[in-house]
Structure 1
Amino acid sequence: MVAYAACGVVLLAGCASMPDSGDLQGVESTPRQDSQVRVFAMPPQEDAKPPTIVQGFLEALTSDDPHYETARKYLTPEAAKIWRPERTTTVLAEGPGIVVEPAGGRQESDDLLFTLTGSKVAAVDAQGAYAPADGNYHQSVHLVRNQKTDQWRIDGLPQGVVMGKSDFQRNYMSVDKYYFASNTTSGTAAQAVAVADPVYVRERVDAMTQMVRSLLSGPTTWLGPVVRSSFPTGAELRKGVTALTPDDQNKLTVPLNDRAARVGSTVCERMAAQILFTLQNLTPAVDEVALEARGKQLCSLPEERADDVAARGSVQDPEYLYFVDGKHRLVRIPADGSGAKPDPVPGALGEGDKDLQSVAVSRDEHTAAGVGIDGKALYVGSMVSGGSLGSPVLSSAGATAKDRLTTPSWDAEGDLWVADRNPRDARLLLLEDGAGEPLKVETPGLDGRIKDVRVAADGVRIALVVEKDGRQSLLIGRIERGEKSGGRSLVSVQELRSAAPELEEVTTISWAGDSRLVVVGREREGVQQMRYVQVDGSTPEGPPPAALTGVKEIAASEDDQLPLVAYSEDGIVRLPSGAQWQKVDADGTAPVYPG
């Protein structure tokens, strides 16, 4: 490997010495480089041996070559035409191993067969959607020797690319693109609710243009049924536009094709908001988006106005942090940590005589729900001083507290979710507006009993901790709503998928961003740990939260500027940014932010 540090370029050369047949060999993963360093591969050398061709090709897959032009030089012209590297990315625990076998068993043949092996970790599809994977990877690569040039080239290979986990982490990054919830508003018909759709893109191959193209192409398959895009069908970048770059005022102009030429100002601003939300964490910064079609500006939206167009959980600022005090009443303190002494919440749950085990506060902070100390009854009350509580809105017949009601959770529509863990009638329930007859939520494919429930701020995704045979799993589901006869909603949770497949024990969870959760759990034969996970099952960049022992419950806000809060062996503790855990209330339990 030759490095040109002054230019920020690293060249990869496939020059390792390998035998022509027999043993398993490994392809070394490229050491993780600084994010500003670009990596380019070397083309095949003259008279390179077959194993060197294979290794050079695999190394070229991990480079920053935008169109894999160098990798194609390791292929025959026919193979280069039909190879589609963008179709899928297979991630292995280590760089792929190589088993070399001469075709037909002849050492001096003009064609050779190589087998790539490894342990699968994940796969990224053509949409950029990440999915955890396991099992063995086993794919063949066939080489032939050109009779005229005497050079070896690959003429048979699997579609897509393959690389080790460390190379994947160096080459790719996760970015949220944004759409709008199909059946959800933020309480007013005018404002849409933004939903994050995480995808992986190559980090140093014009990520900004990649993300705009990905956004225009539509949501990933999993999220598609519950979101919509403001972009008209068929809207794309104008023909000939190959790169998007903001100007010196951080304004990005996006030229679109004629399909977008007739949109109105409201729709146009929602289109611009989708782009602004999507590009907010990329470099260079984008502070304003202007959309053009047919050479004319359609609209322009600065960052400070984007949140007026659509609501996002990550920018909703809760006023208070809530928890249950030593007297089993609902209390609160300012969410920003400016006050230390908890005050009782106005209303029956804070001022009354009901002993509470767990609580949830609506996102507008006007209504609270609480589960009684024995887990049997769910109460809902207005947070107005002097308000009465009334009868429970839901009761469980489970034999023990662990077989009764979970902690409830409010969605963006003001509906209340809770699970009844009674083994004889385990079910997920929804109370519309927190009242009325509980609606049973259909959960096709659910295998196990729900232990915990958390609805995302966008109202279209739900996190469930599901227990089976003593093991807990964190699953993310898609909330679909419809109408059935009698006027009652038909609600279901579809396509549950794992967000933390390596954990076998999940103690507590909380949403901690538009597409991120914080989880306390334990791997097999491991110790309890706290970590962040993405809804797609990948691990976000950055350090985990500071360690804390004996965590029983965790609370985070989608706004990552607010402190992480936990109930541990020290009571209620808080983790301000850049600080260590601090004690809030020695007798408190069940901390929650609104939601």
Structure 2
Amino acid sequence: MGADRGGGARRTSARVVAYTACGVVLLAGCASMPDSGDLRGVESTPRQDTQVRVFAMPPHEDASSSEIVSGFLEALTSDDPDYEIARKYLTKEASDTWRPQLSTTVLADGPGADVDRVGGREEADDLSYTLTGTKVATVDAQQSYASAAGDYSESMHLTRDKKTKQWRIDVPPRGVVMGKSDFQRNYMSVDKYYFATSTTLGTSPHTAAVADPVYVRRNVDPMTQTVRSLLKGPTSWLNPVVRSSFPTGTALKKDVLTPDDQNRLTVPLNDKAARVGLAKCNEMAAQLLFTLQNLTPTVDEVELRAGGRQLCALTEDDAEAVAARGSVERADYLYFLDDKHRLVRLAAATNGTNPDPVPGALGEGDRQLESIAVARDESMAAGVGLDGRNLYVGALVADAQLGEPELSSAGGTPEERLSAPSWDAQGDLWVADRDPDNPRLLLLKEGVDDPVVVKTPPGLEGRIESVRVAADGVRIALVVKDGDESSLLIGRIERGDDGKAGEPAAVSVHELRSATPTLEEVSAMSWAGDSRLVVVGREKGGVQTMRYVQVDGSTPEGPAPAALSGVKEITASEDARLPLVGYSEDGIVRLPSGAQWQKVVTDGTAPVYPG
């Protein structure tokens, strides 16, 4: 967690480890923070093991105003489930109206606290403090994370009780505020799952499960927190394109959920769910299983109960028959271009190094390609010609022929023509035309229909350089270049009804948000999980790095990929069991789990998994 809190010319420690035993750390918010002088920081807790529980101490008798401020800020970073200790630093009236669950503000360092002397005296019975810092992110009432920037400044007012002479806070800051490392210790990201409303997987009758990441408090019964969040419904950003099978108003009837010794979790629901049928209940159970398995591997089966009876029970295998997730759909092959710029493939789950040409004209013909994409069912492929001008689509079957280009760009150079294409879950093909005179994001229904111009948000600055659609079909990753800078943006795909007289349905991308707020340049990216991407980029003034990022702009837990120099392209599968594959100055290389980068072929480019 590191030292989160920095102040001005002088620093004071506002945390004291009072007692450590059995995984518990008690923190006394009683260190000295003088009522006058420079801006002060409230020191962050040293990095603790994630299994250590951290609890704050209540205010001691006759605590000074500065000790009340520091103690309150410390209590916000503890593992107190209902912030009961933090409330002891407030007046009764302030405690009754304070709503810590409404928001969490994350600062680069912990909040500085500066006493306001304007209009006040040291002996006065009320004081104002200003909390300051640099914003990194916010977590809203839906537990949704969003990157933030700029200065943080918020007032906090204290009053001294005329009878007891004890200082208390009568105007606390809005929600919770803490430094970045305290946030990383206190909170964890969890994917909850809903169903795409307009996406069917090719000819499959069931739909795609869509991950909706939220942040829950790590040491405050995260399982029950996560289930409650799931029942409340999707976050506002995702809500327009997903549905939940839980009836509106469904809630838990039990405060704590615990799996039994058979890894079975019983989930008691209120009467809002009592009348659901078996099919609907199985969907509800699938949402729960997908969500809980993302949180913990100790749940293999869920049982739903309501109205005094069992509604249904569902196992992990049964859940996969209800809806599909990209993270468990394993690709058969890894694809790339050989030294003759033709499409070849290797079995994805092996260590093979001798690729075979794909069947059909893209692998066995004489068409030279610059970039390629393979449909998720691996029956079709699309390739952009060597000069970037034309897009070709062909079947991956023996003797399949290649017709005329499905799309052509009028850009002046290869870099100003077509991007690498991407297939979505419905079997539709996406590509960006980078022509400066007519930049467009395009969709080809089933890869062969006339291109449809996809509407992008008004005011989108820059030109789309690359495109990758998530396995769920409702989220899209775009690298957008604006001047010398490029960033990775995540958007929501919305599809309208079919048009009149055979016109194609309108397709649009909404609410683009950055997944790489700290990077100045993004040169390659790929989906690497249900809500995670792998990115090659560079911070301002830095060198090229490779990292994982979440769709909400946060950094996932766990190590970054092993360093690889000269990375030009990167591909990953949503299925984490398959290795990361890159194209670098050493050729095509792969990174098996727990190993170092291994060379696949020296002469090869454009590696891709299906999608």
TM over 0.5: yes
1:252-301 CA-to-partner distances (Å, cap 9, x unmatched) read 00111111111111111110010011111334711110000111000000
* 1:340 correspondence with 2:349: no
Is the 8 Å Cα contact of residues 336 and 562 (structure 1) preserved in structure 2?
A: yes
CA distance in 1, matches of 2:510, 2:201: 22
CA shift, 1:21, in A, is: 2.1
Task: Extract unaligned runs of 5+ from structure 1.
Answer: none
Stretch moving more, 541-550 or 275-284? 275-284
1:85-131 CA-to-partner distances (Å, cap 9, x unmatched) read 00000000001001112362312111011000000000000001000
* Structure 1 counterpart SS, 2:284: helix
The residue aligned with 1:211 is 226
CA distance in 2, matches of 1:281, 1:40: 27
The residue aligned with 1:491 is 507
Is the 8 Å Cα contact of residues 191 and 311 (structure 1) preserved in structure 2?
A: yes
Is the 8 Å Cα contact of residues 532 and 549 (structure 2) preserved in structure 1?
A: yes
Task: Extract unaligned runs of 5+ from structure 2.
Answer: 1-15
Alignment map for 1:57-456 (pairs within 5 Å): 57-102=72-117, 104-188=119-203, 190-238=205-253, 241-283=254-296, 285-445=298-458, 446-456=460-470
1:52-82 CA-to-partner distances (Å, cap 9, x unmatched) read 1000000000000000000000000000010
Give TM-score, length-normalised by structure 1: 0.98
CA shift, 1:338, in A, is: 3.8
1:116-147 CA-to-partner distances (Å, cap 9, x unmatched) read 00000000000010000000000011000001
* Structure 1 counterpart SS, 2:240: helix
CA distance in 1, matches of 2:323, 2:570: 28
CA distance in 1, matches of 2:35, 2:138: 30
CA distance in 1, matches of 2:260, 2:19: 29
CA distance in 1, matches of 2:153, 2:95: 21
The residue aligned with 1:460 is 474
CA distance in 2, matches of 1:442, 1:425: 13
CA shift, 1:3, in A, is: 5.5
CA shift, 1:436, in A, is: 1.5
The residue aligned with 2:491 is 477
* Structure 2 counterpart SS, 1:506: strand
CA distance in 2, matches of 1:392, 1:283: 48
The residue aligned with 1:540 is 556
1:514-544 CA-to-partner distances (Å, cap 9, x unmatched) read 0000000000000000000000000000000
The residue aligned with 1:37 is 52
1:215-265 CA-to-partner distances (Å, cap 9, x unmatched) read 000000000000000111111112xx1111111111100111111111111
**2:531 paired residue among 504, 510, 515:** 515
Is the 8 Å Cα contact of residues 316 and 559 (structure 1) preserved in structure 2?
A: yes
CA shift, 1:11, in A, is: 0.9
Stretch moving more, 256-265 or 207-216? 256-265
Cα root mean square deviation, aligned = 1.0
The residue aligned with 1:47 is 62
Stretch moving more, 441-450 or 480-489? 480-489
1:465-486 CA-to-partner distances (Å, cap 9, x unmatched) read 0001111010000000002333
Is the 8 Å Cα contact of residues 103 and 113 (structure 1) preserved in structure 2?
A: no
Residue identity opposite 2:165 in structure 1: D
Is the 8 Å Cα contact of residues 421 and 430 (structure 2) preserved in structure 1?
A: yes
Is the 8 Å Cα contact of residues 33 and 70 (structure 2) preserved in structure 1?
A: no
Give TM-score, length-normalised by structure 2: 0.96
Residue identity opposite 2:402 in structure 1: L
* Structure 2 counterpart SS, 1:489: coil
CA distance in 2, matches of 1:418, 1:185: 21
The residue aligned with 1:524 is 540
CA shift, 1:185, in A, is: 1.4
Residue identity opposite 1:369 in structure 2: A
* Structure 2 counterpart SS, 1:280: helix
Change (3 A) 1:404 1:227: same
Residue identity opposite 2:490 in structure 1: I
CA distance in 1, matches of 2:118, 2:203: 68
Residue identity opposite 2:424 in structure 1: D
CA shift, 1:36, in A, is: 1.1
Change (3 A) 1:116 1:321: same
The residue aligned with 1:572 is 588
1:371-412 CA-to-partner distances (Å, cap 9, x unmatched) read 000000000000011110000000000000000000000000
CA distance in 2, matches of 1:569, 1:30: 43
